[in-house]
Amino acid sequence: MPWFPDFVSATELARRQTQIAGRTDPVTQYLQALELGNARALETIWPGTIVIEDPRAGTIRGHRRLREFVRRNRTWLTGLHATTEHLASTSAGQQAVVELLAHLDDHGQKISWPIAVVAESPHDRSVLFRTYCSQWPVDGRHHVRPPILEPGEGILEGVVSQHFAALAAADVEACVQTFAATGYVREPYGPNAFHRGQRALDSYYSKCFSTGGGIEIECCCVTDDGTRCVVEYNLVRWGRHALVTQAGLAVFERDPDGLLSAVRIYDDVQPPTDAAN
C-alpha cells in the first residue's frame, strides 16, 4: 500500500491528466455531460467558473445550477429520443466551435435540428459555453435571443468581409458573387432551408432584401481556422425594420479558391419577409 503522500500525488496527477485531455476538446466534454446527465467531468476539468449561455435555459452560472441544468436537459432530450451527428469543428485561439445536427423523435415526428456550440476558455480553470440554434423545430415558435456578447474587434477578411458588406448594401449580385458555383446557404430551420447554386442564391437574397434595404449586423467574435470562419453576431436591422437586437452565429466555409462553399446560419430571428407572408 502506497504511503499516503504518494497516493495523494497519484490522485492529483490523474486529475491533471483528465483536465489536460478534456481541455483539448471542450465542446465534446460538454455534450457528453448533457448526454449522460452528469456534470462531474466538467467540474473536474474546469474547477473554477463554468458559464453556459443556453437558448432555452438562459444563463447558467455556478456549479449547483450547472448540475441542475445538465440533469434537466438530459431528461428533456431523453423524452425526444435525441441523437446527434457531428457536422464540422472550427478552433482558433481560445475558441472552439462544433456544429451538430440533432435528430429528434417528437411523438413520431422526425425532426432535424441544427445546433452550434462555442467553447471559450479564458484560462485553465474556467470555461464558457454558448449554444446557438432556432427553437422553431422543437416548439414551433421564434424566441427573441438578447445579445450575449458586445460588438467586438473581430476582424473579417477576404470573402467573408465582402459578404457582410454586400448584406449591408442590399446588393444581391455582390452576395451571390461571393459563392462558388455550387455554394449554398442553409437557414436555421425549415423544410426548404437550403439554397444551393447561383439561381437559388439569387432568389434567396432577392427575398432577403425585399423589405427595402440591407441587413445590419454587429460582429462580436470571430473564430477562423483558414477554412471556416465562425462569426458570433448581433442582428440589429433588416431592411426597413429595426429589430430587437438578437444574438446569432454564422459559419462561412471557404473552398480552395477562397470563395464561399457554404454559409450556415444559427439564430432564431424571424425575417420580416416571413412575417409579411
Instruction: Give residue-wise pLDDT tens across range 84-123.
Output: 999 999 999 889 999 999 999 877 888 899 999 999 998 8
**pLDDT 10s digits, 16-65:** 444 444 467 899 999 999 999 999 999 999 999 999 999 999 999 999 99
Distance separating alpha carbons of residues 89 and 103, to the nearest angstrom: 18
Helices and strands counted in the chain (H then E): 9, 12
CB 217 within 8 A of CB 235: yes
What is the structure's pLDDT at 275? 56
**pLDDT 10s digits, 117-146:** 999 998 888 999 999 999 999 888 999 999
CB 239 within 8 A of CB 207: no
Distance separating alpha carbons of residues 98 and 119, to the nearest angstrom: 9
Asked if pLDDT for residue 171 goes beyond 60, the answer is: yes
What residue spans in the chain does CATH classification 3.10.450.50 cover? Answer: 4-133, 158-275
Distance separating alpha carbons of residues 89 and 154, to the nearest angstrom: 19
The grid cell for 32 is 457528453
Q: Which is it for the CA torsion 118, 123, 127, 128, positive or negative?
A: negative
Q: What is 158-275's CATH number?
A: 3.10.450.50
pTM of the shown model:
0.90
The grid cell for 51 is 458559464
Answer CATH for 4-133 from 3.10.450.50, 3.40.50.2000, 3.40.10.10, 3.30.379.10: 3.10.450.50
